[in-house]
Amino acid sequence: MSEALKTELVNFSELTGEAGNARKAELAKHVAALFALTSERCSDEQVGIYDSVLLRLVDMVEGEVRRYVAEQMSGLKRGPRDTIRRLADDEISIAEPILVRSTVLDDEDLIKIAEKRGNSHCLAIAQREVLSVGVTDILVQQGDLKVKRKVAGNDGASLSDASMKSLINDAASDATLQNFLSERGDLAEAHIADLIAIASEEVRKKLHDAGRGAEAERVGEAADIAAQHMSNQYWLGKYDFKTARSRVLLLAKRGMVNEAALRRFCSEDRFAEAVATLAFMMRVEVEELSHCMVSPNPEPFIVLAKSFGFSSISVSGLLSIGPWRHRLTPEVRVAAMSLFSRMTVSEAKRKMAHWDKKVVA
């Protein structure tokens, strides 16, 4: 890049002395605003020119002007990388919009700033729409409780197992963090159990302190039940059964709801549609059947499938999709299929005779 190109935007020789201070601020704002308007149409060389000029200007102006430049740069898909890095490493009143919104910063940039700067910078980073595991690991390690709450409440933040465990450990003494974690959509079974244990331990302590020891000893059993319920609700919340049921009813009007359709949904891992198809064929409610098919114990489903005469191919497919793809171990699937093979239709119907007409999860 030639010096002539650089000076097309700004003649730095005119910015010397006290008289040039107002001019520097004015130019910094104008150049930033101009680039914000034209960034999508700029060539890589032109972006480089703006970057070189803005980088020099932001080091010449006061914080208020740097904040203005940061605001202009923060929402751009293409931006002057060195300038944005410089602003992101500035005091928090200037860096915040960049740290929260700029997609020009990469994970390496964010990690360096989080490691170098304090909680205020970490808190701003924690508000980004998307956070990688590498970034959240640093935020959880370095940040204070406010940062950890913000990470836990950010649906776009990916968390490693280590970070999740660390947050759960901190949640033992912070109800707000417990709430944020319990609402996340990426909790593993073990994480859910750990959260329940934390909450139940707090309840147990309060009961003991109040002299209600017998009740305190029953908290563990109640916690196990709550954990199972919470876990089931977590998995069911991932699927839109209402829409799936509507689609299946449309297929039913054309006579296309059968075991072949069920196997097709299984092959495509379309769990909600598979449940809705199965519910239509069994004449049971989708909601009741979905609870049966999310449980880590597949035996009630095996009894239902055998009593209604479904094939082993369909049953095997259903055991390997949706929540069961994650919740059932290979050994449990083998045992379930073995039970299906051994059980006769009459035996399955006798078991069902002891149940309500609706499926019991």
- Token pair of 254, please? 């054309």
Average pLDDT over residues 74-100: 94
Residue 196 belongs to some domain of the structure: no
Does residue 171 sit within a domain?
no
- Where a domain ends, among 105, 132, 147? 105
Residue 130 lies in a domain: no
15 lies in a domain?
yes
Q: How far apart are CA 15 and CA 26, in angstroms?
A: 11
Note whether residue 71 is domain-resident. yes
What is the tally of structural domains in the chain? Answer: 2
Distance between CA atoms of residues 303 and 178, nearest Å: 38
- Name the pLDDT band for 200 (thresholds 50, 70, 90): low
Residue ending a domain, among 105, 132, 166, is 105
Has residue 131 been placed in a domain? Answer: no
User: What are 12-69's pLDDT values in tens digits?
Assistant: 555 555 555 677 788 888 889 988 898 888 888 888 888 888 998 888 888 899 999 9
Residue 231 placed within a domain = no
**Which structural domain range is residue 20 located in?**
1-105
**197 inside domain:** no
pLDDT band for position 210 (50/70/90)?
low
Nearest to 87 by CA among 75, 103, 76, 71: 71
∠ CA 132-151-196, rounded to 5°: 115
Final residue in a domain of this structure, among 105, 120, 154: 105
pLDDT value of residue 205: 61
- Side-chain half-sphere of 51: how many Cα atoms within 13 Å? 18
pTM: 0.60
